[in-house]
Structure 1
Amino acid sequence: MKSQDIRSKFLSFFEAKKHTIVPSAPMVLKDDPTLMFVNSGMAPFKEYFLGNGQPKNNRIADTQKCLRVSGKHNDLEEVGYDTYHHTLFEMLGNWSFGDYFKKEAIAWAWELLTEVYGIDKDILYVTVFEGDEEDGIPMDTEAYDIWKQYIAEDRILKGNKKDNFWEMGDQGPCGPCSEIHVDIRSADEKAKISGKDLVNKDHPQVVEIWNLVFMQYNRKANGSLESLPNKHIDTGMGFERLCMVLQGVQSNYDTDVFTPIIREIETITNKDYGKDDKVDVAIRVISDHVRAVAFSIADGQLPSNTGAGYVIRRILRRAIRYSFTFLDQKEPFIYRLVEVLSKKMGTAFPELKSQKQLVENVIKEEEASFLRTLDQGLVLLNRIVEETKNDIVSGEKAFELYDTYGFPIDLTALILSEKGLKLDEKGFNEELQKQKNRSRAASEMSTDDWVVLVDDIEQEFIGYDALEAQVKITRYRKVTSKKDGDMYQLVFNLTPFYPEGGGQVGDKGYLEDVHGDVVYLVDTKKENNVIIHFAKNLPSHLDESFKAVVDAKQRHRTESNHTATHLLHQALREVLGEHVEQKGSAVHSKYLRFDFSHFSKLSVEELRDVENFVNSRIDGKLPLIEKRNIPKEEAIAEGAMSLFGEKYGDTVRSIRFGQSIELCGGTHVKNTADIWHFKIVSEGAVAAGIRRIEAITNDAVKEFYHENNRAFYEMKDLLNNAKEPVKALQNLQEENANLKKQIEQLLKDKAKNLKGELKSELEEINGIQFLAKKIDLDASGIKDVSFDLGSQHDNLFLLFGTENDGKALLSCYISKELVASKGLNAGQIVRDLGKYIQGGGGGQPFFATAGGKNPAGIDEALNKAKDYIS
């Protein structure tokens, strides 16, 4: 059975059971601070489990893209070494929100597996929760009794809390679960040991394929459990593992989910899969990782140095590392696999097709960049090897190579072993742990339970129409972190505060009670469909009514920038072409940032045309035409643009200014005239095929022109109020260039004359032409003189010192024959002598320099030079 058919049968089965089939949510999460990525099928539905939203149907089924590479659920290091762990995987799931429970979930799972898919009942095992005395949770006898109707009792296994109690996190909905495992070993292997003894023992052919979670508890901050008012079903079946079972193979990588990618890797690299363990691991790593990276980029997450972007970069670099080390690939090639991936999965996930060119461009650029890093790392590693006095390379130096330059530690260890050296792994791990401890301490946070003041009130957002309102605090909680200290999160019954989202910053403002006491609100965010307001302290009278007031000036500036991003998007498509698509934005009160797909740097003329286009719409005084809660299909039919990577509901809000129409939940000016003016301040590359524009509007533009005007008059004053300041500046530049040429010539003449003097001062010691002297030349002149002398004399040892702007410089030149015959090393020598000038440096064995802040130590350093050859 082909993978497409397996997926289709699952969705059709649950559609017949009155489930609504929903598309996979974007894998990159935008408004859940507890997760970077969707790491399980239930993540997009958290708000329903928490009671903060209502699904359109209490029964839902889907296939969800998931990524597990960080945090509690981290499978990254297993990927490639076994046959069933992945970074990106599909999770087939069916959901019940307060509707059916264990009886139906178990019955339908059994029916689908054994009757629809035809899996032999004799190769299946199930587990149920055995209970936990410490936590006060009884055994799940209800699930046990239901399973007895379908499967022999000796195939129902009792599992511990680790395996059979599912929790969303340290707090929140949770409950016992029942796993279904499959044993696909041969008859001979089964005769030797029973499958029940291998369940949850990480056996590659006895694996879990489906987990049925029975959400019936809520975990509180103090660790205690309370029963949920409504019980839910949350199931997740690993699509790749199911394909392995139904296609009769022993590895996920032998299914048609992966084989087309593996064949393409074989063709490109001229390596055969299945003949060499190291090559096989590398091919599995690459075939898995390209899926994770491609889907992430298609969902709007580019590789970067922070947050979710860092995770994606790390996955891709792991793939590149394996291709470099075990497949001998020194040029980018992983990007070429996107074509195969798009053909294979583009029907189920159309974003792969529509974003294919972008995904290829970004991966190719990342590959090229990291391969350059590996080349640089090899040079640095060779230098470390040269400086190693014994056969052990210090963990501190290896960590610096890893942390500062991104050079993989396993590659360092491999190269060192080939050179007969060892790595101080203990020292490296100690440095790594120090870094982790620093990072963990910086991000450590504790969150108390919500204190509920008013129960069962659905929150209302009124921020599109009002900037202040009378509100009640319905609940609050305390959050403590090293970064922010104590902070309080407040929820109101209604709120005019816009929460951070869609690139727009959250509102700030204040609460005022009837006594005139004020509490400042420093931020607003949305978590699982609830708008949360952040305050440094709690109001004194929590049970009273408050006047909630948004900072109107900041809101207006932010709205000006947000509306400007819509006009900018339209302008770029008009000036550059329809291929331009928004790839990210940040809308603050002081500036806006807009990322978009485009293949080249914008010319001065293009930037001017874009600016003029936006400002013409501002001058046109276009009114805001807003439509709320309209069907998404209707908005799209009217021409509204939707963005890849954004999660839209069945009803949406459309924003129109003239011909610019977009789906958007942010706040906007009532008329484009309110923006006043638009000014681009920078344009540059973010990644291959992605450009970034930063711009300002309104008060920031006024300040920009004010500062430029002030700078202009200051410059004019320096030019003696020249009538044509630009021409006067050009004349100064030409005069300066001519003077520089004259100075360069004078320095060359000075160096030439000095060279003759220095030749006569050379002293022969033990067959070495030696000179240590303080001279009056800059670093470039000293280098030229040293190499000129070196071309005329063999066995030359030079040490020169000079002082410039209160700083000291030592330069050491040693003939290459001396380096080879005497073991002298200029780099090591200047490092040793650098202590006299309170500095340090390095370089090549034949030429090196050291800088320091103590010119008075130059003479002592020169005096010590003779010690190296006498």
Structure 2
Amino acid sequence: MTSQDVRKQFLDFFASKGHLIVPSAPIVLKDDPTLMFNNSGMAQFKEYFLGNGTPKSNRIADTQKCLRVSGKHNDLEDVGFDTYHHTMFEMLGNWSFGDYFKKEAINWAWELLTEVYKIPKENLYVSVFEGNPDENVPFDQEAWDIWKELIDEDRIILGNKKDNFWEMGDQGPCGPCSEIHVDIRSAEEKALVSGKSLVNNDHPQVVEIWNNVFMEFNRKADGSLEKLPAKHVDTGMGFERLCMALQGKTSNYDTDVFTPLIEKVEQITGFKYVDNAVTSSADEEKTNIAIRVIVDHVRAVAFAIADGQLPSNTGAGYVIRRILRRAIRYGFTFLDTKEPFINKLVAVLADQMGEFFPEIKAQQQLVTNVIREEESSFLRTLDQGLQLLDKVVAETSGNEVSGAKAFELYDTFGFPKDLTALILKEKGMSFNEAEFDASMQEQKNRSRAASEVSTEDWSVLIPGNVETFVGYDQIENEVKITRIRKVDSKKDGVLYQIVLDNTPFYPEGGGQVGDKGTLVSANETIDIIDTKKENNLILHFAKQLPENIKAGFVAKVNTDLRSSISKNHSATHLMHLALRSILGTHVEQKGSLVNPNYLRFDFSHFSKVSDEELRQVETSVNAQISAQLRLVEHRNIPIQEALDKGAMALFGEKYGDSVRMIEFGESKELCGGIHVKNTAEIWHFKIISEGAVAAGIRRIEAITGDAVKNFYQNQENTLAEIKETLKNPQDLLKSVASLQDDNAKLKKQIEQLLKEKIDGLKNVLVADFQEVNGINFLAKQVDLSMSSTKDLAQAVGATKPNSFVFLASIEDGLPNIHCSIAKELVVEKGLNAGTVIRELGKLIDGNGGGQPFFASGKGKNPAGIQQALEQAIAFVQ
């Protein structure tokens, strides 16, 4: 049974049980501040469990792309070392929102596994929650009774809170769960050891494949539990593990989910993946681990990029970069890959999964280019790290390198701990692991302290209220507060989140920042400093609460900020159309930021946008502004109807069955943001910058409205200052050109004078050489710039055989030093200019480096020059 068959049979089975089959949500979450990535099948349904939304069906099933590499669920360091953990994986799931409960969920799970997939019953074990008296949660007798009708009681296991009580997070819906485990060991192994004893003990062939969670409690901020108003079912089955069981394999990586990728790695690298059951050496196992890491990680990175998350140095982008770098490094260390190659796996992945996940096929070229560029960049970084490690080794006395230095390599260059250990081992050295771990822990503590957040439970004032957004039509409205909670974080201090019965405030989303404004009652005014959305609730952030939270308020949006934001947002739509018209229809939005001050727009394009093309884009957008195009808005229309009308949908965005479509002339996009009523309100559009973000991704920053007026006013002021500085010439351009000509002539004169000065100094200094141990030695301070001192050191050194020249000077108050050593001294006596500069550079609070025959450095302490000159002779004595 192929993996495609396995997936299809699961969805067909639950469709036959009355479930609505929905597509996978993007792997990258954009409207849930509590999660970086979709880490479970239920993440996209959180609002329904919390009671903040109504699902389109009470029964839903799907297969969800998941990523577990951060936060509570983090499997990254296990990946590769075992055969059943993954960064990205598929979670097959079925859900009931207040409909069926334990009886149906358990019976259907058993029917699917044993009758449809035909897994032998004697290979399965199940677990139920043993209860927790401390929290007043009893043993799950109901689940036990259902299971004992289906399976022998000696195959039912009691599980503790860790294994059999599932929680969404520190707070929120939770409940007991019933896991199903499969034993795929050989008959001989089963005869020796009972599978029951291996459940939940990290055995690679006795693994959990399905978890049935029965959501019936809510975890409060104080840790206590309360009953939910309705009971729900949330199940998740590991697709890769299920394929392993159904295809008769003992490793996920031996299934057709991974074998095409493994074969491609073998073809590229020449290294072979050996079946785990027959690995005979440590080298074979290292090769296996490296190949598993690579084929797992390329899936995670490729799907994240396809869903809109580019590798970067912060947040979710940093996590994606870290995953990719881990894969590159395993290839570099264990498969001897010194050139980019992981990008070549994307085509295999697209062919394999493109039918069910069309985004990977549609974004194949972009994903390939981004991964290739990231590989090239990190391989260069690895090379830099190797050079730095060589320097650390050279400066180390003894066989143990400082753990703090090893951590610096890791922190600055992403140089992995085990790679450092491997290279040092080859040199007969090691590093202090305790110091490394201490430095790592310090960093984690700083990071944890900076991100610590404590959130109180919601205080509900008006139960059952469903908040409505009225901000498309109103900028102020009469409101009541329905719930509040206090949030305390190291970063922002104490803030209050306020939910209203209706609101004109637009919550951050789609690249647009959240509205600011006020809540005004008869007696007080509360500033709203931000607006965000979480689990379908619009949260208004304030630094204080009203004295009377039950009073009526008028919610007022800051109209100046809203106006600037709407101009910038509408301009992004017009620019998107212009870019596709001028550069080609391959251009697609890959990210945006719309705030009151400027707009930022990331888009797919594989070369720099020329100045002429940028002028054409500006002209096109301003023509649309001048045309006074009226906003045409379609609210709550079927998504297919919007697409049929020509609306653009963005990969990585989650759209419902009904959408909002925005039209300005030929510009048609699905968008939930705030826009001008007529393009004339934008006034004017001006591009400020254009540049690369990643391979195949460009970024334009631009301004509109008052920001353009301020830009031109500043330009005028600057021009007036230039005119005044040049004594108000009649022809400014001619005057500037004349000034440039004069400057060029003066530079030539200065260069000639410096050359003459260097020649003169060279002749003077040649007389100051002294012979020390057969070496012509010179150490002097001169009155020249850093670059001229460097030239002088090389010129003086060339005048004598066996020369050792050390020169120093001061430029702009900062010292610099240079060392020139004749090549014969480097070869015959082992002298090294780089070593000289590193050692004497310490005396001027500086550093530097270069080649063995010439090196330079600079520092901060001019007073140290004299001591450096005096100590230079020690190298030749």
| Whole-Å separation in 1 of the counterparts to 2:101 and 2:254 | 35
The answer to whether the aligner puts 1:267 opposite 2:274 as a matched pair is no
Alignment partner, residue 548 of structure 2 = 541
Give how far 1:827 is off.
4.0
Could you tell me which amino acid in structure 1 is paired with residue 476 of structure 2? Answer: E
Give how far 1:849 is off.
3.4
Alignment partner, residue 743 of structure 1 = 750
Give how far 1:709 is off.
0.7
Alignment partner, residue 300 of structure 2 = 292
The answer to whether the aligner puts 1:465 opposite 2:481 as a matched pair is no
Alignment partner, residue 118 of structure 1 = 118
Could you tell me which amino acid in structure 1 is paired with residue 706 of structure 2? Answer: D
Q: Residues 407 and 737 from structure 1, CA distance in 2 versus in 1: closer, same or farther, beyond 3 angstroms?
A: farther
The answer to whether the aligner puts 1:14 opposite 2:14 as a matched pair is yes
Matches within 5 A, 1:655-734: 655-734=662-741
Matches within 5 A, 1:516-665: 517-665=524-672
Are the aligned partners of 2:633 and 2:663 in contact in 1 as well (CA < 8 Å)?
yes
Alignment partner, residue 84 of structure 1 = 84
| Whole-Å separation in 2 of the counterparts to 1:467 and 1:322 | 55
Alignment partner, residue 127 of structure 2 = 127
Are the aligned partners of 2:797 and 2:805 in contact in 1 as well (CA < 8 Å)?
no
Matches within 5 A, 1:364-379: 364-379=372-387
Are the aligned partners of 2:766 and 2:799 in contact in 1 as well (CA < 8 Å)?
no
| Whole-Å separation in 1 of the counterparts to 2:661 and 2:338 | 48
Q: Residues 353 and 718 from structure 1, CA distance in 2 versus in 1: closer, same or farther, beyond 3 angstroms?
A: same
Q: Secondary structure at the match of 2:133?
A: coil
Give how far 1:853 is off.
3.8
Render the CA deviation track for 1:10-38: whole Å, top value 9, x for unaligned: 00000000000000001100110110000
| Whole-Å separation in 2 of the counterparts to 1:52 and 1:97 | 12
Could you tell me which amino acid in structure 2 is paired with residue 669 of structure 1? Answer: V
Alignment partner, residue 453 of structure 2 = 445
Alignment partner, residue 190 of structure 1 = 190
Runs of at least 5 residues in structure 2 that lack an aligned partner in the other structure: none
**Aligned with residue 329 of structure 1, among 337, 359, 384:** 337
Could you tell me which amino acid in structure 2 is paired with residue 346 of structure 1? Answer: G
Q: Give the TM-score of the pair, scaled to structure 1.
A: 0.98
Give how far 1:797 is off.
2.7
Alignment partner, residue 435 of structure 2 = 427
**Aligned with residue 418 of structure 2, among 410, 418, 424:** 410
| Whole-Å separation in 2 of the counterparts to 1:39 and 1:196 | 28
| Whole-Å separation in 2 of the counterparts to 1:331 and 1:850 | 33
Alignment partner, residue 238 of structure 1 = 238
Q: Secondary structure at the match of 1:761?
A: coil
Runs of at least 5 residues in structure 1 that lack an aligned partner in the other structure: none
Deviates more, 1:196-205 or 1:421-430: 421-430
Q: Residues 167 and 792 from structure 1, CA distance in 2 versus in 1: closer, same or farther, beyond 3 angstroms?
A: same
Give how far 1:794 is off.
4.1
Give how far 1:387 is off.
1.5
| Whole-Å separation in 2 of the counterparts to 1:793 and 1:432 | 51
Matches within 5 A, 1:47-86: 47-86=47-86
Give how far 1:400 is off.
1.6
| Whole-Å separation in 2 of the counterparts to 1:390 and 1:824 | 21
Render the CA deviation track for 1:187-244: whole Å, top value 9, x for unaligned: 1111111000000000000000000000000000000000101000000000011000
Render the CA deviation track for 1:120-143: whole Å, top value 9, x for unaligned: 000000011111222322111111
Alignment partner, residue 311 of structure 1 = 319
| Whole-Å separation in 1 of the counterparts to 2:750 and 2:404 | 45
Q: Residues 401 and 817 from structure 1, CA distance in 2 versus in 1: closer, same or farther, beyond 3 angstroms?
A: farther
Q: Residues 820 and 136 from structure 1, CA distance in 2 versus in 1: closer, same or farther, beyond 3 angstroms?
A: farther
Q: Secondary structure at the match of 2:721?
A: helix
Render the CA deviation track for 1:252-301: whole Å, top value 9, x for unaligned: 11111111111111111111111611111111111111111111111111
Render the CA deviation track for 1:47-75: whole Å, top value 9, x for unaligned: 00000000010000000000001111111
Q: Residues 364 and 832 from structure 1, CA distance in 2 versus in 1: closer, same or farther, beyond 3 angstroms?
A: closer
Are the aligned partners of 2:603 and 2:699 in contact in 1 as well (CA < 8 Å)?
yes
Give how far 1:818 is off.
4.4
Give how far 1:823 is off.
5.7
Give how far 1:789 is off.
3.6
Render the CA deviation track for 1:720-742: whole Å, top value 9, x for unaligned: 21222122212222221222222
Render the CA deviation track for 1:678-717: whole Å, top value 9, x for unaligned: 0000011111111111000001111101101100111111
Q: Percent identity among equivalent residues?
A: 67
Q: Residues 582 and 806 from structure 1, CA distance in 2 versus in 1: closer, same or farther, beyond 3 angstroms?
A: same
The answer to whether the aligner puts 1:339 opposite 2:343 as a matched pair is no
Render the CA deviation track for 1:105-134: whole Å, top value 9, x for unaligned: 000000000000000000000011111222
**Aligned with residue 354 of structure 1, among 359, 362, 367:** 362
Q: Secondary structure at the match of 2:480?
A: strand
Aligned residues: 869
| Whole-Å separation in 1 of the counterparts to 2:63 and 2:811 | 68
Render the CA deviation track for 1:666-688: whole Å, top value 9, x for unaligned: 01001000001100000111111
| Whole-Å separation in 2 of the counterparts to 1:857 and 1:277 | 54
| Whole-Å separation in 1 of the counterparts to 2:25 and 2:597 | 32
